[in-house]
Structure 1
């Protein structure tokens, strides 16, 4: 799958890099939030925890809603003066930003990503897509 390697256990222990793969099941969102929160705590990035957890939660939820295969999450803290986060799934179509009405219960996930991140985008792969975002490192 795009953005997810078979060696996630080994790569997850690389300093400044973490990677996980989740089945497309409802518990994936909670598990992703927990792992992202714990990893950022280990990396000493407390200031980025809340926003990163929120954005990962939104992107994993989108993947869960539209894709049926595994969902991958990667984080790089040594990608420059920012934290790079990627969420991958096997669905090749890129997500579409919607304009949600005031009373809509959904449709704001990509708007949140666009507003809260330094930059964001998508890239296709051989078997799916990756949605990524960057958050500026404090300091």
Structure 2
């Protein structure tokens, strides 16, 4: 999972990951709510509540985009083993990466022509606005599809705090 992410991110030492969590997401609208709930709970366990609103917004947009644009029609059904989407949260001391894996080989398109009065179509603009960077990479090996990620820089922990 980290290999394609490292291609587009600042150098990240996989052995320095201080926290990682992931969850399978079904091909249903409820997946957006489930992803936010999972993210908020994980950030709470990591004592990162101060960034939870921004990170949950970005996770919501990444999952919504995957549901709308990356799933075949009709979307595959099945249990967690066959869930078409997967959310990954990876934390380093100064960075957090949110990544959504989906089965599509097509990259996300941000054309810069967002209509800010529209009810939809602003997802990648919001991801770009609330994160410190984002990108995507096709998956290699036995996994097909892609991963779309967003990076958040974290404030340094005060002295004496882990």
| TM-score interval for Structure 1 and Structure 2 normalised by the shorter chain | 0.7 to 0.9
TM normalised by structure 2 equals: 0.72
Question: Post-superposition shift, 1:138?
Answer: 1.9
Residue 121 of structure 1: SS of its match in structure 2?
strand
The residue number in structure 1 matching 2:7 is none
* Counterpart for residue 7 of structure 1: none
Deviations 1:39-75 (A, max 9, x none): 1011000111001100000010111112135111001
> For residues 125 and 135 of structure 1, what CA distance do their matches in structure 2 show?
22
Structure 1 match to 2:146: 129
Cα offset, 1:103, TM superposition: 2.8
Three-state SS of the structure 2 residue aligned to 1:61 is helix
* Aligned partner of 1:86 among 99, 118, 121: 99
After alignment, is 128-137 or 99-108 more displaced? 99-108
**1:55 & 1:77 partners in 2: Cα distance?**
16
Runs of at least 4 residues of structure 1 off by over 4 A? none
Task: Tell me which residue corresponds to 1:6.
Answer: none
- 1:113 is matched with which residue? 127
Q: Hey, what does 1:138 align to over in structure 2?
A: 155
Query: Alpha-carbon deviation of 1:118?
Result: 1.3
Q: Which residue of 1 aligns with 2:159?
A: none
Q: Could you tell me how far apart the structure 1 residues matched to 2:18 and 2:130 are?
A: 25
What are the ranges of 5 or more consecutive residues in structure 2 without an aligned counterpart?
Answer: 3-16, 77-83, 157-162
Larger radius of gyration: 2
> Which residue of the partner structure matches residue 64 of structure 1?
67
Distance, in Å, in 2 between the alignment partners of 1:91 and 1:115 is 24
Partners of 1:72 and 1:115 lie apart in 2 by 23
Contact kept in structure 1, 2:115 and 2:122, CA below 8 Å: no
TM-score (normalised: structure 1): 0.84
Matches within 5 A, 1:40-59: 40-59=43-62
